[in-house]
Amino acid sequence: MSQPSAAKRPPFDPGDPLGLDDLLAPEDLAVRDTVRAWSADRVLPEIADWYERGELPSVRELARELGGLGALGMHLEGYGCAGASAVQYGLACLEFEAADSGIRSLVSVQGSLAMYAIHRFGSEEQKQRWLPPMASGETIGCFGLTEPDHGSDPAGMRTRARRDGGDWVLDGRKMWITNGSVAGVAVVWAATEDGVRGFLVPAGTPGFSAPEIKHKWSLRASVTSELVLDGVRLPADAVLPQARGLGGPLSCLNQARYGIVWGAMGAARACFEAALDYSREREQFGRPIGGFQLTQAKLADMAVELHKGILLAHHLGRRMDAGTLRPEQVSFGKLNNVREAIEICRTARTVLGANGISLEYPVMRHATNLESVLTYEGTVEMHQLVLGKALTGLDAFR
Ligand code: TGC
Ligand code: FAD
């Protein structure tokens, strides 16, 4: 194999050391640049303040702006959705999460969980009613699967839906629900005589409320709520007709987990960049700390894991676009990329010394956010067990 001449080789780019941008088409780069510019303009100047206050104060306005960008349900077709590729959706998730995991959560729950559930399992009437206002950000959606006593094991859910004449009546509780208190529609999963079914619960339905969960030390710029269902009466057409069994909600999780595979690398990139910049400027013992071998080892290891993670995300994105992506492969990506992202953020924190714990820098905020990302959408252990089962053929969940 002939070696290219040095003159043909592009220069080394510290922001893209593997040359992964070569994998992207001009339209992919355009999506990435648009989301990066929006995040820099709308999120980065305010995020530390929102985080400190533990609020996402302009969530409805942000949702409408995200709708205007085409970011809500962007990988879905029709009904006002952008019809972007999975790779483009992934790039957007990376850029949103480079700003804050809370913004990527807002986008993921809207597009990959609530809208995807309606798009994949809803009737034509349900799609026409809900998807266009959700794509534009006029209506926010949430996705209620987790319960106070059933997180990793949703098969044991206690929320029940029973038939009463032509109606459905729902009773139960959901816990830790992103966007819950600001949602115009909640996708609620409940046990019925025929197994798990999905229901569309409009905000304001009697018996339904969504109190916000406070005192979080992670995902502080994100709305998280309980969903309370006390004899919530819904018409027959509130049920998602095409979803039967736990496979319904778990299919939606594949979509959101895929976005996290990319998103986690955004948080990691922000921390790596902060550490690299800091290491060039901060001097100790008469020289920049980036000149010390131990700091360079940290930076090199961070860069290796960051760009391996992006490459993995890209590979999974291509498989998703080709229709060949398996749930076990999504687990592979979520397990690796979130775990490595946390490690990168923690290492970046050490490079910043005491400044690493300050909200003046993004590192600690991303590191604490990633503690939620490690847990939601399937904990590390769940994804290890999914892979363990696929590798051995033995189910170790129960
Ligand atoms: P199991 O018996 O394996 O499966 C039941 C049925 O589901 C099917 N299935 C899947 N289908 C599509 N995609 C997947 N990933 C699937 N995994 C399983 C399966 O084929 C079967 O279908 P059928 O037709 O034979 O009935 O189920 P299990 O009870 O043993 O549980 C498996 C396990 C533990 C992997 C699953 O329960 C699980 O993934 N648990 C983790 C729960 C979780 O991730 N919850 C997330 C809640 S949503 C959230 O966190 C949003 S945060 C978002 C944000 O803010 O960004
Ligand atoms: P548990 O399931 O109780 O697990 C506790 C520990 O036990 C974990 O380490 C787990 O891995 C381990 N464990 C459990 N079973 C096993 C086993 N068989 N083998 C080995 N280890 C095991 N849910 C939604 O439905 N919608 C949302 O929008 C949503 N948003 C969220 C937002 C935030 C900020 C957070 C923190 C959570 C959110 N969740 C949401 C909930 C999330 O999906 C759950 O927290 C998650 O699935 C884990 O459930 P749990 O917290 O009940 O932990």
Kindly report whether the global pTM for this prediction surpasses the value 0.95.
yes
Shortest-distance Cα residue to atom 28 of ligand 1: 155
Domains observed in the chain: 20-136 (1.10.540.10), 141-244 (2.40.110.10), 248-392 (1.20.140.10)
Output the CA 82–ligand 1 centroid distance in Å.
27
Q: Which ligand 1 atom lies nearest to the CA of residue 260?
A: 56
Position 29 scores a pLDDT of: 98
How do strand 185-192 and strand 141-144 relate by DSSP bridges? parallel
379 lines ligand 2 (CB under 6 A): yes
Query: Which of 113, 159, 246 is the best mutation target for the ligand 1 pocket, counting ligand atoms within 8 Å of the beta carbon and taking the most?
Result: 246
Q: Please, what is the angle between helix 247-281 and helix 86-99, to 10°?
A: 50
- Which of 344, 176, 181, 331 is closest to 261 using CA atoms? 331
Give the CA angle between residues 98, 104, 107 to the nearest 5°.
145
Q: Cα-flanking dihedrals φ and ψ of residue 191, to 5°?
A: -80, 135
E strands in the chain: 141-144, 160-164, 167-178, 185-192, 195-202, 208-209, 224-234, 283-284, 287-288
Contacts of 179 (CB under 8 A, 6+ apart): 59, 106, 109, 110, 114, 140, 141, 142, 223, 225
Which token pair is 61? 């306005």
pLDDT tens over the chain, length 398 residues: 666 677 788 899 999 999 999 999 999 999 999 999 999 999 999 999 999 999 998 999 999 999 999 999 999 999 999 999 999 999 999 999 999 999 999 999 999 999 999 999 999 999 999 999 999 999 999 999 999 999 999 999 999 999 999 999 999 999 999 999 999 999 999 999 999 999 999 999 999 999 999 999 999 999 999 999 999 999 999 999 999 999 999 999 999 999 999 999 999 999 999 999 999 999 999 999 999 999 999 999 999 999 999 999 999 999 999 999 999 999 999 999 999 999 999 999 999 999 999 999 999 999 999 999 999 999 999 999 999 999 999 999 99
Share of the chain residues as helix, strand and coil, in percent rounded to the nearest 5: 55, 15, 30
Output the CA 75–ligand 1 centroid distance in Å.
21
Query: Which of 140, 223, 252, 376 is the best mutation target for the ligand 2 pocket, counting ligand atoms within 8 Å of the beta carbon and taking the most?
Result: 376
Q: Which ligand 2 atom lies nearest to the CA of residue 219?
A: 34
Reduced to 3 states, what is the DSSP secondary structure of residue 228?
Answer: strand
Instruction: Convert the pLDDT of each residue in 336-356 to its tens digit.
Output: 999 999 999 999 999 999 999
Contacts of 373 (CB under 8 A, 6+ apart): 101, 260, 263, 264, 267, 338, 341
